[in-house]
Amino acid sequence: MTQPRQLAIPALIGSVLALATALPGQVDWVQIPIPPAQSPPPRNSGKLVPAGRCGCLILYGGWSNTQNLTDMWRFDGVTWSLIDSNAPPGMRWGHGMSHDLRTGELLLFGGARGFYINDTWKWDGTTWTELRPVHSPPPRASVELVYDEARGVHVLFGGDDFGGSHDETWEWDGQDWTHRAFTIRPAARREFEMVYDRGRQVTVLFGGQQQHGTLFGDTWEYDGIAWTQRFPTNSPAPRSTHAMVYDEARGRVVLYGGYHDPWTANSSPLPETWEWDGIDWVQRSTSAGPATPFQQSIGYAPGSGLTVAFSGATTTETWFLFNRHPATASRMSSGCASASTGVTPSLDPASTLGNLPWIGDTFTLEMSDVPPGGRPIAMLGTTDRSWAGRPLPLSLTLFGGGPGCTLDIAPAATPAMTPGPGNTARFDLPIPNVRALVGLNLYGQGAVLEPAGSSSVLTTTNALLLQIGSR
């Protein structure tokens, strides 16, 4: 049988480009039609964070036009449900709240309810417990609190009290608060935003203002060793009362809204969407957005892979930031067992956070359970319909394949994979930063040439459908 000519990887990408068509805008805000009676009441300064391992978001506290709030809600990606109308930490606004990825617990600190407070609480998914550490930041509100996954600590910065704004950095290790002193640090501020970038393992801070003073438009990052001011080519205008979140699916810090000079006669809304990639800020053009760009409650829902915003003081709107062209990878078949080990090797995206087929990135495929002494190969192509005039899937028994081994894609390139630890192998696929590739499909499958002496010479993995996306 005559086999099709094998293409080099650049030629493979070129063949995909030939299928390209024009695309609409990248991301947009989409309002979810949830009736007001089934939503939390309007609020400012509520906190919306992931909770436990449910893939849901928890909304706690804030203030309305008439009162401070003490209610607690869960959003599962479709509906809101009230957990507690009078949660034990009590009414408050301007508090810090973060999600501990190790334990699944929430940590809450401080805020205000007519006076400033500095209590520390944790929620285990069922019960609130007040913690009584030896040390603590002084009472304050308008703080930001994030969980630093790489170091296993919660990081708190800034805020204000009756005496003015603060520039202190504190860390919670699960037992006590520690004040971290830095000569170089962001200026004292309130109503700023701070998130943890899981991909780059740094805390990112933007904007805010001093109490009744300077408005900031600066960008800072904190790695646990030092604060570093970044000086990007492009940047959002100075603002406060904006919202920020780290979008894990796309590896971007998302900023929405805020006001120029809030609390003054010169106040003006800034209903803009910006994204930070660690190098520069990029403004996204969107057709819509939350109605009130002021003290939004915003969070990333791991279950749905979407950024969620709950609109502010006068509405009960829930919005998603929707990526029109996500990168995806999904299994298409099951593979076959190795003749030498009896175990079926598998092919998946490497488990690195955000590792998907994005334009401008290198996408890594990983084969696991590679038979010792076997030679792993990645097969990549643009179709799963037919190969060499034969329909797919194609049994490989006549070509030395073991029982149940099939060819599920039409390979246009067959690069060798690099052996790794623990019977694994990897292949890195650079995807050009070419907009025309977005939305197109690649197909992948792994094959292993079995070691000498095996009853068959070829074993195949599951196949993958890869959709190229743009962040």
Tens of pLDDT, residues 260-299: 877 676 778 889 999 999 999 999 999 888 877 777 889 9
Spatial separation of the C-alpha atoms in residues 412 and 421, rounded to whole Å: 28
The answer to whether 293 and 276 are in contact (CB under 8 A) is: no
- Judged against a pLDDT cut of 80, whether residue 104 lies above it is answered with yes
CA 392 to chain centre: 36
Tens of pLDDT, residues 353-371: 889 999 999 999 999 999 9
pLDDT, residue 304, reads 78
Give the max Cα distance, the chain. 83
Spatial separation of the C-alpha atoms in residues 435 and 214, rounded to whole Å: 40
Reported as type and span, the H/E element at residue 117 is: strand 116-123
* Residue of 245, 224, 239 whose CA lies nearest to 270: 239
CA 417 to chain centre: 28
> 215 - beta bridge partners?
209
- Token pair in block for residue 28: 């947009």
- Judged against a pLDDT cut of 60, whether residue 340 lies above it is answered with yes
Spatial separation of the C-alpha atoms in residues 327 and 292, rounded to whole Å: 30
pLDDT, residue 3, reads 41
The answer to whether 72 and 90 are in contact (CB under 8 A) is: no
Pick 346 or 54 by higher pLDDT. 346
- Judged against a pLDDT cut of 90, whether residue 447 lies above it is answered with yes
Query: pLDDT-derived band of residue 306, with 50, 70 and 90 as boundaries?
Result: confident
Tens of pLDDT, residues 412-429: 999 999 999 999 999 999
Spatial separation of the C-alpha atoms in residues 392 and 367, rounded to whole Å: 22
Tens of pLDDT, residues 193-248: 999 999 999 999 999 999 777 899 999 999 999 999 999 999 999 999 999 999 99
262-290 burial, b at 16+ Cβ within 10 Å, e below that, comes to beeeeeebbbbbbbbbeeebeebebeebb
Query: If you search the block for the tokens 């479709």, which residue do you land on?
Result: 78
3-state secondary structure 3-34: CCCCCCHHHHHHHHHCCCCCCCCCEEEEEECC
- Token pair in block for residue 312: 């502010």
> 386 - beta bridge partners?
391
Q: Walk me through the domains of the chain, giving residue ranges and CATH numbers.
A: 9-22+327-467 (no CATH), 27-323 (2.120.10.80)
Query: pLDDT-derived band of residue 7, with 50, 70 and 90 as boundaries?
Result: very low
pLDDT, residue 40, reads 94
Spatial separation of the C-alpha atoms in residues 347 and 369, rounded to whole Å: 9
Spatial separation of the C-alpha atoms in residues 316 and 43, rounded to whole Å: 8
Give me the amino acid identity at 196: Y
Tens of pLDDT, residues 114-140: 899 999 999 999 999 999 999 999 999
Spatial separation of the C-alpha atoms in residues 80 and 58, rounded to whole Å: 10
- Token pair in block for residue 334: 């099951």
- Token pair in block for residue 116: 């400033």
Spatial separation of the C-alpha atoms in residues 462 and 337, rounded to whole Å: 11
Does this model's pTM top 0.85?
Answer: yes
Task: Provide Rg for the chain, Cα atoms.
Answer: 26
- Judged against a pLDDT cut of 60, whether residue 2 lies above it is answered with no
- Judged against a pLDDT cut of 80, whether residue 409 lies above it is answered with yes
- Could you tell me how many residues make up the chain? 471
| Residue 295 backbone zone (phi > 0: left; psi -120 to 50: alpha; other: beta) | left
Tens of pLDDT, residues 388-402: 999 999 999 988 888
Q: What does the pLDDT average to over 440-454?
A: 89
| Residue 407 backbone zone (phi > 0: left; psi -120 to 50: alpha; other: beta) | beta
The 8-class DSSP code of residue 94 comes to: S
Tens of pLDDT, residues 39-82: 999 998 899 999 877 789 999 999 887 889 999 999 998 999 99
- Average of per-residue pLDDT values in the chain: 90
Spatial separation of the C-alpha atoms in residues 306 and 248, rounded to whole Å: 9
pLDDT, residue 11, reads 52
pLDDT, residue 44, reads 87
